[in-house]
Amino acid sequence: MSEKAVLVTGACGEIGQALIQNLSARGGYRIVTADLAPLPVAIKSLSAEHLQGDLVNRIKQFYDYDFEIIYHLAASLSSKAEVATEEAHRINVEGTMQLLMMAAYRSEKYKKPVKFLFPSSIAAYGFPNLQAKQAAGLVKEDEYNTPHTMYGCNKLYCEKLGLYYSHYFGQRHLDENPPTMLDFRAIRFPGLISAFTLPSGGTSDYGPEMLHAAAQGKPYACFVREDTKISFMAMPDAIKSLMVLTEAPRESLSNAVYNIAAFSLTAGEFRKRAFAAFPCAQISFEPNPRRQGIVDSWPEDVDDALARQEWNWMPDYDADKFFDEYFIPEIKKRYAHKPSLRTQE
Ligand code: SER
């Protein structure tokens, strides 16, 4: 059986590395990777070909490939995007637009819809104030679509671009022919936590940063208040969601954009969990007003009923399972050689 050609952009990022390892373990894929940086050792041998450089400048190169699936993960995350807005717009919007055009072109030319998987974010939401956030409960996909950040605006707009290229590009009358069109699917991810990689440039980063610091016996000053609450997810569940949504039959999907959720925790609850596993952890709270403002505009939790109904989404890890069976055991192994690590055995 021939291998499916898959493109993973942002391959060096946290989702990229975990996804590439998963695709490779499944087998049956020819994985082409793209990133500004060279591939890290952990995934180097898993990529059939690495396209290194600025995607926007080198988009023509991508037209030469027959990709069946594109995972477009390259992005400038929320905190970084806020201090370099123009650069973020170029990476997050221009890059996505160019790839969508390429995928739409190939879908039409070869009459075979390219699957385009796009990681959107809880940053697509925005509450006017903390009271509104706390009163909102589980937020549905079409509620509070008023992002406060460049990153959130970029993600929300790219969802719309994806819809445009998958439904309306060329403005063909939908009754004319069965439309081929690009097959765009987006997931609004909560904060993701991996035991194997560290995030950079995001605002949900305080969760994973705190835990990685505790595991290494390093002091950590959390940049949001103790009562700050948003939803989080184990990286293996994020990868699972991408794989399940990729494989879902197109006709079962009524929407192009889906919330997914796993568990919702305050920063104070993270600290409690960190202390339980690493009693010598040194964690303080020193809120940064700008980053606090960003997280205060994001939902405490989201309603993922649509994903559950339409593609049987179900996380494997709730908070207890995340800490007890994934994060703490893996992180203890990861930092076991560090002399400063003192854990409760
Ligand atoms: N983790 C992302 C960030 O913090 C949100 O999607 O920017």
Helix, strand or coil for residue 127?
A: coil
Range of the domain at 238: 75-194+232-263+298-317
- Is the CB of residue 165 below 6 angstroms from any atom belonging to ligand 1? no
Distances from the Cα of 123 to the Cα of 108, 126, 208, 235, 255, angstroms = 32, 7, 17, 18, 19
Report which secondary-structure segment, H or E, holds 138.
Answer: strand 138-139
Rg of the chain over all Cα atoms, to the nearest angstrom: 20
d(CA 72, CA 106): 16
- Is the CB of residue 77 below 6 angstroms from any atom belonging to ligand 1? yes
Atom of ligand 1 nearest to the CA of 203: 4
Q: What is the CATH number of the domain that holds 140?
A: 3.40.50.720
- Which two structure tokens, joined as six digits, stand for 295? 């997280």
Beta-carbon neighbour count of residue 319 at 10 Å? 16
Q: Which residues contact 241 (CB under 8 A, 6 or more apart)?
A: 187, 189, 260, 307, 313, 315
Q: Which residues contact 21 (CB under 8 A, 6 or more apart)?
A: 42, 43, 46
For the purposes of burial, counting CB atoms within 10 Å of the CB of 332, is it exposed (0-12), middle (13-18) or buried (19 or more)?
A: middle
DSSP 63: T
> Does residue 146 lie within any of the structural domains?
yes
> Does residue 332 lie within any of the structural domains?
no
CA of 51 to the centre of ligand 1 (A): 25
Sequence letter at residue 97 = M
Stretches where the chain sits below pLDDT 70 are 1, 172-179, 337-345
Instruction: Single out the residue of 245, 212, 257, 234 nearest to residue 122, CA to CA.
Output: 257
- Ligand 1 pocket mutation pick from 80, 203, 224, 297 by most atoms within 8 angstroms of CB: 203
- Ligand 1 pocket mutation pick from 77, 159, 288, 295 by most atoms within 8 angstroms of CB: 77
The pLDDT value given to residue 180: 76
Helix, strand or coil for residue 279?
A: coil
The pLDDT value given to residue 194: 97
Distances from the Cα of 133 to the Cα of 9, 18, 22, 28, 322, angstroms = 33, 31, 35, 44, 25
Q: pLDDT of 241-295, one tens digit each?
A: 999 999 999 999 999 999 999 999 999 999 999 999 999 999 999 999 999 999 9
- Which two structure tokens, joined as six digits, stand for 314? 């179900």
Atom of ligand 1 nearest to the CA of 201: 7
Atom of ligand 1 nearest to the CA of 81: 7
- Is the CB of residue 203 below 6 angstroms from any atom belonging to ligand 1? yes
- Is the CB of residue 151 below 6 angstroms from any atom belonging to ligand 1? yes
Contact 245, 310 (CB under 8 A): no
CA of 150 to the centre of ligand 1 (A): 12
Atom of ligand 1 nearest to the CA of 119: 6
Sequence letter at residue 61 = Q
- Ligand 1 pocket mutation pick from 91, 118, 200, 205 by most atoms within 8 angstroms of CB: 205
> Does residue 95 lie within any of the structural domains?
yes
Q: pLDDT of 173-197, one tens digit each?
A: 666 666 678 999 999 999 999 999 9
Using alpha carbons only, give the angle 64, 70, 75 rounded to the nearest 5 degrees. 110
What are residue 185's phi and psi, to 5 degrees?
A: -140, 125
> Does residue 157 lie within any of the structural domains?
yes
> Does residue 49 lie within any of the structural domains?
no
> Does residue 104 lie within any of the structural domains?
yes
d(CA 307, CA 313): 5
Q: Which residues contact 313 (CB under 8 A, 6 or more apart)?
A: 241, 244, 245, 258, 260, 304, 307
The total number of structural domains that make up the chain:
1
- Is the CB of residue 92 below 6 angstroms from any atom belonging to ligand 1? no
The pLDDT value given to residue 336: 86
What are residue 13's phi and psi, to 5 degrees?
A: -75, 180
CA of 229 to the centre of ligand 1 (A): 14
> Does residue 85 lie within any of the structural domains?
yes
Q: Which residues contact 39 (CB under 8 A, 6 or more apart)?
A: 11, 12, 33, 47, 50
Q: What pTM does this model have?
A: 0.95
- Is the CB of residue 207 below 6 angstroms from any atom belonging to ligand 1? no
CA of 292 to the centre of ligand 1 (A): 13
CA of 73 to the centre of ligand 1 (A): 12
> Does residue 163 lie within any of the structural domains?
yes
CA of 1 to the centre of ligand 1 (A): 38
Q: Which residues contact 2 (CB under 8 A, 6 or more apart)?
A: none
- Is the CB of residue 230 below 6 angstroms from any atom belonging to ligand 1? no
Atom of ligand 1 nearest to the CA of 122: 6
